Protein backbone atom coordinates (compact mmCIF):
# COMPACT_ATOMS: atom_id res chain seq x y z
CA UNK A 1 0.00 0.00 0.00
CA UNK A 2 1.55 3.30 -1.14
CA UNK A 3 1.14 6.73 0.45
CA UNK A 4 -1.12 7.75 -2.45
CA UNK A 5 -3.64 4.93 -2.01
CA UNK A 6 -5.71 6.72 0.65
CA UNK A 7 -5.91 10.08 -1.21
CA UNK A 8 -6.68 8.19 -4.43
CA UNK A 9 -9.57 6.33 -2.78
CA UNK A 10 -10.91 9.58 -1.29
CA UNK A 11 -10.72 11.32 -4.67
CA UNK A 12 -12.46 8.36 -6.32
CA UNK A 13 -15.28 8.70 -3.82
CA UNK A 14 -15.48 12.47 -4.46
CA UNK A 15 -15.62 11.87 -8.23
CA UNK A 16 -18.37 9.30 -7.71
CA UNK A 17 -20.27 11.82 -5.57
CA UNK A 18 -19.94 14.73 -8.01
CA UNK A 19 -20.82 12.54 -11.01
CA UNK A 20 -24.32 12.11 -9.64
CA UNK A 21 -26.81 14.71 -10.88
CA UNK A 22 -28.56 14.40 -7.50
CA UNK A 23 -25.37 15.45 -5.68
CA UNK A 24 -24.81 18.47 -7.94
CA UNK A 25 -28.44 19.47 -7.47
CA UNK A 26 -28.13 19.36 -3.67
CA UNK A 27 -24.90 21.39 -3.74
CA UNK A 28 -26.63 24.00 -5.92
CA UNK A 29 -29.58 23.93 -3.52
CA UNK A 30 -27.26 24.76 -0.62
CA UNK A 31 -25.83 27.68 -2.64
CA UNK A 32 -29.34 28.86 -3.55
CA UNK A 33 -30.71 28.92 0.00
CA UNK A 34 -27.46 30.17 1.47
CA UNK A 35 -27.75 33.14 -0.91
CA UNK A 36 -31.38 33.63 0.06
CA UNK A 37 -30.35 33.73 3.71
CA UNK A 38 -27.68 36.34 2.99
CA UNK A 39 -29.89 38.51 0.77
CA UNK A 40 -32.98 38.37 3.04
CA UNK A 41 -35.02 39.26 -0.05
CA UNK A 42 -33.07 42.46 -0.73
CA UNK A 43 -31.75 43.25 -4.25
CA UNK A 44 -28.06 42.63 -4.76
CA UNK A 45 -25.47 40.00 -5.64
CA UNK A 46 -26.79 37.39 -3.17
CA UNK A 47 -30.32 37.64 -4.56
CA UNK A 48 -29.00 37.33 -8.13
CA UNK A 49 -27.12 34.17 -7.13
CA UNK A 50 -30.30 32.84 -5.48
CA UNK A 51 -32.41 33.39 -8.62
CA UNK A 52 -29.83 32.15 -11.14
CA UNK A 53 -29.06 29.02 -9.08
CA UNK A 54 -32.77 28.29 -8.65
CA UNK A 55 -33.21 28.37 -12.43
CA UNK A 56 -30.10 26.25 -13.02
CA UNK A 57 -31.34 23.58 -10.58
CA UNK A 58 -34.50 23.05 -12.60
CA UNK A 59 -32.41 21.63 -15.46
CA UNK A 60 -31.12 18.87 -13.13
CA UNK A 61 -34.76 17.94 -12.38
CA UNK A 62 -35.96 17.56 -15.97
CA UNK A 63 -37.87 14.25 -16.29
CA UNK A 64 -37.05 13.42 -12.67
CA UNK A 65 -40.80 13.05 -12.02
CA UNK A 66 -40.51 9.61 -13.66
CA UNK A 67 -38.68 8.30 -10.54
CA UNK A 68 -41.63 8.92 -8.23
CA UNK A 69 -44.12 7.92 -10.91
CA UNK A 70 -42.36 4.54 -11.04
CA UNK A 71 -42.43 4.31 -7.23
CA UNK A 72 -46.14 5.16 -7.30
CA UNK A 73 -47.04 2.16 -9.48
CA UNK A 74 -44.56 -0.22 -7.80
CA UNK A 75 -46.15 -2.62 -5.25
CA UNK A 76 -45.33 -1.83 -1.63
CA UNK A 77 -43.24 -4.11 0.58
CA UNK A 78 -45.26 -6.95 2.08
CA UNK A 79 -46.21 -6.42 5.70
CA UNK A 80 -46.36 -2.62 5.44
CA UNK A 81 -49.48 -1.26 7.23
CA UNK A 82 -52.16 0.14 4.91
CA UNK A 83 -51.98 3.72 6.32
CA UNK A 84 -48.24 3.79 5.59
CA UNK A 85 -48.83 2.46 2.08
CA UNK A 86 -51.40 5.21 1.41
CA UNK A 87 -49.09 7.88 2.83
CA UNK A 88 -46.21 6.56 0.73
CA UNK A 89 -48.26 6.59 -2.47
CA UNK A 90 -49.57 10.09 -1.65
CA UNK A 91 -45.99 11.27 -1.20
CA UNK A 92 -44.97 9.75 -4.56
CA UNK A 93 -47.97 11.25 -6.36
CA UNK A 94 -47.43 14.73 -4.89
CA UNK A 95 -43.67 14.75 -5.48
CA UNK A 96 -44.08 13.48 -9.03
CA UNK A 97 -46.66 16.20 -9.70
CA UNK A 98 -44.35 18.85 -8.22
CA UNK A 99 -41.43 17.78 -10.42
CA UNK A 100 -43.62 17.61 -13.54
CA UNK A 101 -45.13 21.07 -12.97
CA UNK A 102 -41.69 22.43 -12.14
CA UNK A 103 -40.69 21.75 -15.74
CA UNK A 104 -43.45 24.12 -16.91
CA UNK A 105 -42.17 26.73 -14.43
CA UNK A 106 -38.69 26.33 -15.93
CA UNK A 107 -40.14 26.74 -19.44
CA UNK A 108 -41.92 29.92 -18.29
CA UNK A 109 -38.79 31.46 -16.76
CA UNK A 110 -36.67 30.71 -19.84
CA UNK A 111 -39.27 32.20 -22.21
CA UNK A 112 -40.28 28.90 -23.86
CA UNK A 113 -43.73 29.09 -22.25
CA UNK A 114 -45.12 32.57 -22.91
CA UNK A 115 -48.05 32.74 -20.48
CA UNK A 116 -46.30 34.21 -17.43
CA UNK A 117 -49.42 34.48 -15.24
CA UNK A 118 -50.30 30.84 -15.76
CA UNK A 119 -46.68 29.82 -15.19
CA UNK A 120 -46.73 31.66 -11.83
CA UNK A 121 -49.98 29.91 -10.88
CA UNK A 122 -48.52 26.53 -11.84
CA UNK A 123 -45.45 27.40 -9.77
CA UNK A 124 -47.59 27.95 -6.66
CA UNK A 125 -49.50 24.72 -7.25
CA UNK A 126 -46.21 22.84 -7.61
CA UNK A 127 -44.94 24.27 -4.30
CA UNK A 128 -48.14 23.19 -2.53
CA UNK A 129 -47.53 19.69 -3.94
CA UNK A 130 -43.99 19.76 -2.57
CA UNK A 131 -45.26 20.90 0.82
CA UNK A 132 -47.80 18.06 0.78
CA UNK A 133 -45.14 15.48 -0.09
CA UNK A 134 -42.92 16.81 2.73
CA UNK A 135 -45.84 16.55 5.18
CA UNK A 136 -46.47 12.96 4.02
CA UNK A 137 -42.77 12.16 4.51
CA UNK A 138 -42.91 13.61 8.04
CA UNK A 139 -45.83 11.37 8.97
CA UNK A 140 -44.19 8.32 7.37
CA UNK A 141 -40.92 8.86 9.24
CA UNK A 142 -42.74 9.36 12.55
CA UNK A 143 -44.65 6.11 12.03
CA UNK A 144 -41.54 4.20 10.96
CA UNK A 145 -39.60 5.49 13.98
CA UNK A 146 -42.39 4.19 16.19
CA UNK A 147 -42.26 0.78 14.51
CA UNK A 148 -38.48 0.66 14.83
CA UNK A 149 -38.66 1.63 18.51
CA UNK A 150 -41.09 -1.21 19.23
CA UNK A 151 -38.92 -3.64 17.28
CA UNK A 152 -35.79 -2.57 19.19
CA UNK A 153 -37.54 -2.98 22.55
CA UNK A 154 -38.67 -6.46 21.56
CA UNK A 155 -35.12 -7.36 20.50
CA UNK A 156 -33.70 -6.02 23.79
CA UNK A 157 -36.02 -8.37 25.72
CA UNK A 158 -34.85 -11.30 23.59
CA UNK A 159 -31.18 -10.45 24.20
CA UNK A 160 -31.78 -10.20 27.98
CA UNK A 161 -28.36 -9.84 29.67
CA UNK A 162 -26.32 -9.66 26.44
CA UNK A 163 -24.64 -6.46 25.26
CA UNK A 164 -27.11 -5.15 22.68
CA UNK A 165 -24.44 -3.00 21.02
CA UNK A 166 -22.56 -6.15 20.03
CA UNK A 167 -25.60 -7.59 18.29
CA UNK A 168 -25.48 -6.92 14.49
CA UNK A 169 -29.28 -6.93 14.15
CA UNK A 170 -29.65 -4.31 16.89
CA UNK A 171 -26.93 -2.12 15.36
CA UNK A 172 -28.71 -2.23 11.99
CA UNK A 173 -31.91 -1.03 13.65
CA UNK A 174 -30.01 1.77 15.43
CA UNK A 175 -28.57 2.91 12.08
CA UNK A 176 -32.01 2.76 10.46
CA UNK A 177 -33.48 4.75 13.34
CA UNK A 178 -30.81 7.45 12.95
CA UNK A 179 -31.45 7.66 9.21
CA UNK A 180 -35.20 7.95 9.78
CA UNK A 181 -34.66 10.70 12.36
CA UNK A 182 -32.50 12.68 9.93
CA UNK A 183 -35.13 12.28 7.20
CA UNK A 184 -37.82 13.45 9.64
CA UNK A 185 -35.84 16.60 10.50
CA UNK A 186 -35.23 17.35 6.81
CA UNK A 187 -38.88 16.85 5.82
CA UNK A 188 -40.06 19.07 8.70
CA UNK A 189 -37.65 21.81 7.63
CA UNK A 190 -38.80 21.52 4.01
CA UNK A 191 -42.37 22.26 5.11
CA UNK A 192 -41.13 25.57 6.54
CA UNK A 193 -39.17 26.28 3.34
CA UNK A 194 -42.25 25.63 1.20
CA UNK A 195 -44.34 27.90 3.44
CA UNK A 196 -41.70 30.61 3.02
CA UNK A 197 -41.59 30.29 -0.76
CA UNK A 198 -45.40 30.45 -0.88
CA UNK A 199 -45.36 33.43 1.53
CA UNK A 200 -48.04 31.82 3.70
CA UNK A 201 -46.72 33.60 6.80
CA UNK A 202 -44.48 36.39 5.46
CA UNK A 203 -44.00 38.11 8.83
CA UNK A 204 -42.77 34.96 10.58
CA UNK A 205 -41.23 32.95 7.74
CA UNK A 206 -39.11 35.69 6.19
CA UNK A 207 -36.71 35.15 3.25
CA UNK A 208 -33.89 34.84 5.81
CA UNK A 209 -35.77 32.15 7.76
CA UNK A 210 -36.59 30.37 4.50
CA UNK A 211 -32.96 30.57 3.42
CA UNK A 212 -31.67 29.34 6.78
CA UNK A 213 -33.99 26.34 6.92
CA UNK A 214 -33.37 25.59 3.24
CA UNK A 215 -29.59 25.74 3.68
CA UNK A 216 -29.59 23.30 6.61
CA UNK A 217 -32.04 21.03 4.77
CA UNK A 218 -29.72 21.08 1.74
CA UNK A 219 -26.71 20.10 3.86
CA UNK A 220 -28.72 17.15 5.20
CA UNK A 221 -29.55 16.15 1.60
CA UNK A 222 -25.84 16.32 0.68
CA UNK A 223 -25.06 14.09 3.67
CA UNK A 224 -27.76 11.58 2.65
CA UNK A 225 -26.45 11.37 -0.93
CA UNK A 226 -22.90 10.98 0.43
CA UNK A 227 -23.96 8.09 2.68
CA UNK A 228 -25.66 6.38 -0.26
CA UNK A 229 -22.49 6.72 -2.31
CA UNK A 230 -20.42 5.25 0.54
CA UNK A 231 -22.73 2.23 0.63
CA UNK A 232 -22.39 1.53 -3.10
CA UNK A 233 -18.66 2.31 -3.09
CA UNK A 234 -17.87 -0.28 -0.41
CA UNK A 235 -20.45 -2.93 -1.38
CA UNK A 236 -20.21 -3.11 -5.16
Q: Are 95 and 129 in contact (CB under 8 A)?
A: yes
Over its C-alpha atoms, the chain yields an Rg (Å, rounded) of 20
pLDDT tens-place string over residues 158-215:
888 788 888 889 899 999 999 999 999 999 999 999 999 999 999 999 999 999 999 9
Supply the DSSP string of 150-189, one letter for each residue. Answer: HHHHHHHHHHTTS-GGG-HHHHHHHHHHHHHHHHHHHHHH
pLDDT band at 19 (very low <50, low <70, confident <90, very high): low
pLDDT tens-place string over residues 40-88:
989 999 999 999 999 888 887 888 888 888 888 888 888 889 999 999 9
pLDDT at residue 86, rounded to an integer: 95
35 closest CA partner among 26, 43, 44, 47: 47
Burial of residue 195 (CB within 10 Å: 0-12, 13-18, 19+) is: buried
pLDDT band at 234 (very low <50, low <70, confident <90, very high): very low
Q: What is the pTM of this model?
A: 0.86
Amino acid sequence: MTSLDTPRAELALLVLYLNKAEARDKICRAIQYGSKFLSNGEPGTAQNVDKSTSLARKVFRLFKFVNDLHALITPSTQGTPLPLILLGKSKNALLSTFLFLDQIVWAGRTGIYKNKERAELIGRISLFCWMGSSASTTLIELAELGRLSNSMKKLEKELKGEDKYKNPQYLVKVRQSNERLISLIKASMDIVVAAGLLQLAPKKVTPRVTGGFGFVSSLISCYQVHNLNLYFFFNF
